[in-house]
Structure 1
Amino acid sequence: MSFTSFGLSTALQNALGGRGYLAPTTIQQEVIPAMLAGHDVIATAQTGSGKTTAYSVPILERFQKLEGDKSRPVRSLILVPTRELAIQVGDTLRSLSQGFSHPPKLAVLFGGISINPQMMHLRGGADIVIATPGRLLDLVAKNALNLRQVASLVLDEADRMLALGFTEELSKIIELLPKQRQNCFFSATFAPLVRELAERLLDDPIRINVPDNDFSKPDILQRAIVVEASQRTQLLRHLYQTEQWQRVLVFVASKYTADLLATKLRRAHLSADAFHGELTQGKRNQVLNDFKASRLKILVATDVAARGIDIDQLPVVINFDLPRSADDYTHRIGRTGRAGASGTAISFICADAANEAHFRLIEKRQACKIPREHIAGFAPEAKDLVLHAAPVLSDPHGGIKGKRPSKKDKLRAQSANQLDSQNATPSDS
């Protein structure tokens, strides 16, 4: 199948070809005709499958068929959870509409920066708005735009949006929209909150689920390396230098760890910087652009970078800290192996039972088993390896296998030790 089978305009087909899109991905094959026909859509597919282009194409195709309106009312609204995803979606729409005789006016709206330039940009209206929920409501409250003529609503990364606590903001936005509109939900996972919202808002939707099978699964080699927590920084440096990676995206659990690790790497004369939600928008843009252009070699990021960031030819992702959930793991490793390229995802497994148990849960949810590796010079000592054996209590009737001893278990063990001491034979002086 090719994009010509959708009956798209010549300008849009040329733009797709110019971006190297010769044939639609699986999700694009199903979403584009469904949206062009006006159906509501709920689509799930793994990250990197082409969801953004899947909904951008029908939005732009329909825009070209609209009669010109000098007031430029908002016809399409795309809601996203993060500013990085907003920027990426805006870049995709802008790139695909470059050859139009009358390209749409796009408004990319998010917080973290002054609202005044965005209000100025919205003077004279906007055809397509890409926004985070909070900033969109701020602009509506200031009468910078209205949403009464929105014909198409898209929720991108809907599960992430709800997980970040945007439920109330989404409800307020939906109340501002006309009742007659097209609703399209896109996500890599179909969490219960998304399912509930979809059942409430979507009208007989086309359900699209691209299975994560060998034909659609990104080409990502997954590795798991067992290491002492205190040696992870040294292991990261070792791997970077021996594997000769051009760029590395390293995920950590907190902004504090991101700043600290980036500082340690710079002290070792490595090109590294941190990326997290506490940075100014200008700094975030600078760091991300430097990383995309390979001026920066190691990007140490929180999960703010796990979604919505598209980096061409990123060879490797490292989970310095394990993600909190299997869904987050999916999104993290999905930053590599995109658009048909291959990639590697490495997870550091600290030598403790809790870390191993958490990674096993991730493996279970991913329906895969990743062999554990030990790197010479960084492998934990044998006494610290508790990955495959549960602790055994001295009292065979106390405690639960594989669990940390309870207070009662500890008291039993203490009593047993005291009895042993009392019954022991005194040594000769």
Structure 2
Amino acid sequence: MGSADDKKKRKRDADDAHDVHKKKRKSEKLEATTDAPEPSAANGELDEAALKAERKRKKKEKRAKAAQNSDDVAADEDERMPDAAAVDEVAADDAADKARRKEEKKRKKAEAKAKAAAATPTSSASSKDVAGYLEEHHIALSDAVFTPILAFDQLSLSAELRTCLSTFKEPTPIQACTWPPLLAGRDVVGIAETGSGKTLAFGLPALSHILSLPGFGKEKKKERRLADVLVVAPTRELAMQTFDTIVTAGKPLGVDSICVYGGVDKESQRKALGKKGVHVICGTPGRILDLAEEGVCDLSNVSYLVLDEADRMLDKGFENDIRRIIGQTKDIAARQTVMFSATWPESVRQLASEFMRDPVRVTVGSEDLTANKRVEQIVEVFEDARSKDTRTLDRLKKHFASKKGQQTRVLVFALYKKEAARVESTLRYKGYSVGALHGDLNQANRTEALNNFKTGVTTVLVATDVAARGLDIAAVDLVINYTFPLTVEDYVHRIGRTGRGGRSGQSVTFFTGENHERALAGEFAAVLREGGVECKELQEKFPMTIKKKEHSFYGAFFNKGDVAGTATKIKFT
């Protein structure tokens, strides 16, 4: 009992002691709170005002900082995005810089040209020299303002262009007289014998024309270039020869050329024209027109047009095609037109009057049909046509014996394709190195035969009149007319394959009087007389009448007034 009471008593004492300790801590805490001085009303208002001022100050600083940041951003934007005035000012500066660069380039170009001219001094021929030159070569000029160029050093050309003249001693008469007006931008009609250097006569000014164009050399890689120069020729071989001359001279200058003609697939020609375009197009009328009407050959930019062998093209019935081709080039006022022809018939005159601006006409020799004076013309008259093979073999044997050890070529002209093939076979059987060129061969074989003849792989070429025009093979020393052609004009062009480049040549013509030959005897004799040859046997055996000239469209009823005349209105009553 006692012990239980003691435990309860000790518990009460402990609880009391805990309560006392708790009260004591509470009392101390209360005393600490009581001892702190209470803020008065004034102190409270002061603290509140200070706090408010501090918040206002911080807010103002924040706004100022934000404004500063905004100004900095605006300044950055101004630097990146200038105002309209600044843009105009920059544009004006750029334009001024561009103009200065252009002027500087122009000045340097002029200085370079003057330097080149000074490095290559030009000489001028005296009026006496010019008069003597014109008389010697029987040259007539319609415009005496242009003085012929008697030496290459009288030409103001770039060094690159001069390289194509390095193999020649002096200009030919047609070159000497056509270069001055052509280089001056005038339209020109050139009348000259075949083999007179007409290709370079129009080719050199054509390249000069291209180099002078404002956009030359600045075409973008992906930009399609339209042709500036178009050369139209009557035959594939002549077109290819012109192309070879221009591409050789123009390639170092960056002038791109193409040759288009029939007898081969069009696809390669389409690709060449459609991919990036070219500066010069050489071709035959039919293929040029085909590609133009397909939309592949765009002629709208042609500013230099050449009609080579114009009389031959008109004789072959290409007049309508030529007119349609010219109609697709630049207008007559913006186009320089050049026409070369061996003769000056009414049909060519009419074409010139319609499509040329006051052309300068240069006539070397006669405007009528004339043979090359450097060609010795020999005529063998006989009745038995079967003797032709024997006489051909005799002539070839004598010729090669006289030229032993020398480079020489012989052209044998036949009238028909089958005849050419038979003669070729005969000569090959007799051991001659011979090729053939006629219409029954595909273009690849024709090209191969011509190249072999040019390079000397073959020394004899048997051909029809496809080889009678324009072919320039300097080493041809003999032309044999196995059969007389259908026209005397073709005879003149045939024998013109020799005696080229100032060299002399020889032609042998077999005349039997069969079929068409009898009617051409009088005209043939006139051409021989004009060349200083009198063939008494020809005059004794055949009539010397000359057939009236016929127009290709109107026949013998044609007269000079038919083409240029105006229509007459007929009234019926």
Residue 42 (structure 1) aligned to one of 166, 189, 193: 189
Residue 241 (structure 1) aligned to one of 378, 397, 421: 397
State which drifts further: 104-113 or 270-279: 270-279
Give yes or no for the alignment of 1:326 onto 2:477: no
**How many angstroms apart in 1 are the aligned matches of 2:470 and 2:425?**
25
State the partner residue of 1:220: 375
Superposed displacement of residue 266, structure 1: 2.1
**How many angstroms apart in 1 are the aligned matches of 2:243 and 2:448?**
18
- 1:329-382 per-residue CA deviation (whole Å, 9 max, x = no partner) reads 111000001001111011112267974663342131452453559xxxxxxxxx
State the partner residue of 1:125: 277
Which structure is richer in relative contact order (CA contacts within 8 A, separation 6 or more)?
A: 1
**How many angstroms apart in 2 are the aligned matches of 1:96 and 1:390?**
49
TM-score by length of 1: 0.82
Mapped contact 1:47–1:334 kept (Cα < 8 A):
yes
Give yes or no for the alignment of 1:28 onto 2:175: yes
State the partner residue of 1:10: 159
**How many angstroms apart in 2 are the aligned matches of 1:233 and 1:164?**
30
**How many angstroms apart in 1 are the aligned matches of 2:414 and 2:542?**
27
Secondary structure class of the residue paired with 2:379: strand
Superposed displacement of residue 77, structure 1: 0.7
Secondary structure class of the residue paired with 2:476: coil
State the partner residue of 2:475: 313
Cα distance 1:217–1:165, how it changes in 2: closer, same or farther (>3 A)? closer
**How many angstroms apart in 1 are the aligned matches of 2:516 and 2:277?**
53
State the partner residue of 2:341: 187
Identity %: 36
Superposed displacement of residue 218, structure 1: 4.5
Superposed displacement of residue 242, structure 1: 2.5
Mapped contact 1:363–1:369 kept (Cα < 8 A):
no
- Partner letter of residue 374 of structure 2? D
Secondary structure class of the residue paired with 2:185: coil
Cα distance 1:207–1:44, how it changes in 2: closer, same or farther (>3 A)? same
**How many angstroms apart in 1 are the aligned matches of 2:309 and 2:183?**
21
Query: Please, which runs of 5 or more residues in structure 2 have no aligned partner?
Result: 1-149, 546-573
State the partner residue of 1:289: 451
- 1:401-426 per-residue CA deviation (whole Å, 9 max, x = no partner) reads 9xxxxxxxxxxxxxxxxxxxxxxxxx
What is the aligned-residue RMSD (CA, Å)? 2.4
- Partner letter of residue 181 of structure 1? R
Give yes or no for the alignment of 1:58 onto 2:201: no
Superposed displacement of residue 195, structure 1: 1.3
Secondary structure class of the residue paired with 2:540: coil
**How many angstroms apart in 1 are the aligned matches of 2:324 and 2:511?**
42
Give yes or no for the alignment of 1:113 onto 2:264: yes
- Partner letter of residue 291 of structure 2? L
Superposed displacement of residue 262, structure 1: 1.2
Name the one with the larger helix percent.
2
Secondary structure class of the residue paired with 2:350: helix
- Partner letter of residue 278 of structure 2? A
**How many angstroms apart in 1 are the aligned matches of 2:365 and 2:532?**
19
Higher Cα Rg: structure 1 or 2? 2
Secondary structure class of the residue paired with 1:154: strand
Secondary structure class of the residue paired with 1:97: helix
- Partner letter of residue 235 of structure 1? R
State the partner residue of 2:219: 69
State the partner residue of 2:511: 349
Residue 540 (structure 2) aligned to one of 371, 379, 388: 388
Mapped contact 1:15–1:99 kept (Cα < 8 A):
no
Aligned length: 375
Secondary structure class of the residue paired with 2:505: strand
Secondary structure class of the residue paired with 1:14: helix
**How many angstroms apart in 2 are the aligned matches of 1:82 and 1:351?**
29
State which drifts further: 55-64 or 272-281: 272-281
Give yes or no for the alignment of 1:208 onto 2:362: yes
Superposed displacement of residue 389, structure 1: 5.2
Superposed displacement of residue 40, structure 1: 1.0
- 1:279-321 per-residue CA deviation (whole Å, 9 max, x = no partner) reads 1010001111111122222211111100121112111001111
- 1:204-239 per-residue CA deviation (whole Å, 9 max, x = no partner) reads 1101101159xx954211111123311011110111
Give yes or no for the alignment of 1:81 onto 2:234: yes
**How many angstroms apart in 2 are the aligned matches of 1:340 and 1:322?**
26
Cα distance 1:5–1:259, how it changes in 2: closer, same or farther (>3 A)? same
**How many angstroms apart in 2 are the aligned matches of 1:390 and 1:198?**
38
- Partner letter of residue 238 of structure 1? D
State the partner residue of 2:244: 91
Cα distance 1:270–1:15, how it changes in 2: closer, same or farther (>3 A)? closer
- Partner letter of residue 396 of structure 2? Y
Secondary structure class of the residue paired with 1:235: helix
Cα distance 1:230–1:371, how it changes in 2: closer, same or farther (>3 A)? farther
Superposed displacement of residue 65, structure 1: 2.1
Residue 176 (structure 1) aligned to one of 314, 328, 332: 328
**How many angstroms apart in 2 are the aligned matches of 1:175 and 1:218?**
38
Give yes or no for the alignment of 1:137 onto 2:299: no
Superposed displacement of residue 111, structure 1: 0.7
- Partner letter of residue 74 of structure 1? A
Mapped contact 2:525–2:534 kept (Cα < 8 A):
no
TM-score by length of 2: 0.62
- 1:242-299 per-residue CA deviation (whole Å, 9 max, x = no partner) reads 2326431011111111111112222323333321122101000111111112222221
Residue 197 (structure 1) aligned to one of 338, 351, 364: 351
Query: Please, which runs of 5 or more residues in structure 1 have no aligned partner?
Result: 374-384, 392-400, 402-429
Give yes or no for the alignment of 1:165 onto 2:317: yes
